[in-house]
Copies of this chain bind each other. A is one copy, B any other.
Amino acid sequence: MNQENTRILKGDICYSIDKNTLITVEDGYLVCENGTSSGVFPRLPEMYAGLPVEDYSGKLITPGLTDLHMHAPQYAFRGFKMDLELLDWLNSSAFPEEARYEDPDYARDAYSIFVQDLKKSVNTRACLFATLHLPATRILMDLLEESGMETFVGKVNMDRNCPDYLRETDGDASADATIAWLEETAGAYSHVRPILTPRFIPACSDRLMERLADIQRAWHLPLQSHLSENPEEIAWVQELAPQSRFYGDAYDRFGLFGGEVPTIMAHCVHCPPEEVELMKERGVYIAHCPQSNANLTSGAAPVRRFLDQDMRVGLGSDIAGGTVLSIFRAMAEAIQTSKLRARLTGDGLKPITMEEAFFMGTKGGGSFFGKVGSFEEGYEADAIVLDESRIPHPQKLTVKERLERFLYLSGDDWVLHKYVKGRRLF
């Protein structure tokens, strides 16, 4: 029995079993043995009587949240130059700012702020884009490892259609740099794993994509990228890859669209039916990023359709298209934008419920990491104890009401204690 990750948490416990079923247990017990949940109990079973109890009575306890899509270097410039659409925003804000990470000193300053805030946040898992720079990416990985969170980090590949100051010379140079990065970091971390990260089709040559497919086969790496975010971008992909039937097909031609290895595609706002069908077939994860899709005038993804087909959907902050780390906020925004979508398009897709939003932000996205995002028996015990002290209220609320309220009202760091795989981070 490992003392570090074996314990019982007592409090008002909430977790999802499936997208329609939210379990709430008032004054219950989450039993965690060797980093794994043994279940949640309204009364403590005799057999666990010897385990240490951490008593958070009266406080909400939920699974840690998973951010399926965000750009670590963009944390430094979230929230300004937002009056632009995707491609203009990339050119005038994202690219020049990301270029700063060529300087390791800047990278260390910026990533330190980011990792500190991520650690204090309600999220316990994240899939991160870094930049194309190797030293900066190492710095990010070192900082994340130290934080104790579980993350995937991708050195970004981009070798065309980007400004000279932020572009790899060609597909081979980009792929070779990726191999160097993988070799350099192999075995170096316990909590940080590499993920292949071609920026998006417009920024990746065919040669690069071919080489990434080779690397994926050799290294068995998952992959993350962007898909069907903005109409202008989609038209551009069509121009660049005229032989592709749709955007996703431009990845699929290289065997980089899910299947055997887990794959995340961010956004999926404007997917044609064939693309949705292929994503479903290949088990591609959809990272739904509602705030970013609003900020960059992309639109509102038809999440109802994805959920109803039992596709794999999680939530992403998409820092800095989105501005807010907390995946609770992304849950609220997923609901809000689905309501606006329903009203403004009249397409008959029902808004997302609170249960579905909570599911996406916990078990939905968490499953990319394995058995993560729930407190059912056998799940890795990521747990957060929430800080409701800043929202006093005059009447009695149910546990579910308190949780729902937390989605709408809480800030990034309204968390008192955080556990990852049963280990207490703070």
Please report A residues at the B interface, Cβ cutoff 8 Å.
76-83, 97, 100, 106, 109-110, 113, 291, 294-300, 323-324, 335-337, 339-345, 351, 353-354, 391-395, 397, 400-402, 404-409, 411
Contact = CB atoms under 8 A, between A and B. Distances in A.
Contacts of A408: 78-79, 82, 323-324
A338 to B, nearest CB: 9
Nearest to A112: B394
Given A106-B395, A291-B336, 15 more contacts: A76-B394, A79-B391, A79-B404, A80-B401, A80-B404, A80-B405, A82-B354, A83-B335, A97-B395, A297-B343, A297-B351, A300-B343, A323-B408, A345-B345, A411-B411
Given A106-B394, A394-B113, A405-B79, A344 B294 contact: no
A64 to B, nearest CB: 21
B78 A294 contact: no
A337 B294 contact: yes
Chain B CB within 10 Å, residue with most, of A109, A337, A343? A343
Contact of A323 (B401, B402, B409): B409
B297 A405 contact: no
A343 B110 CA distance: 33
Contacts of A405: 78-80, 323
Contacts of A404: 79-82
A352 to B, nearest CB: 9
Contact of A294 (B110, B336, B406, B407): B336
B351 A344 contact: no
Chain B CB within 10 Å, residue with most, of A342, A344, A395, A397? A344
Given A394-B76, A409-B78, A336 B295 contact: yes
A339 B297 contact: yes
A395 B83 contact: no
B297 A395 contact: no
A297 B336 CA distance: 8
A109 B339 contact: no
Contacts of A344: 299-300, 340-341, 344-345
Contact of A83 (B109, B110, B340, B353): B353
A340 B337 contact: yes
Given A110-B394, A323-B408, A411-B411, A299 B340 contact: yes
Nearest to A343: B299
Contacts of A82: 335, 354, 404, 408
Contacts of A294: 336-337, 339-340
Contact of A109 (B291, B337, B394): B394
A165 to B, nearest CB: 16
Contacts of A345: 344-345
B337 A298 contact: no
A368 to B, nearest CB: 26
Contacts of A78: 405, 408-409
A299 B97 CA distance: 35
Contacts of A343: 297-300
Nearest to A109: B394
A411 B411 CA distance: 7
A20 B339 CA distance: 30
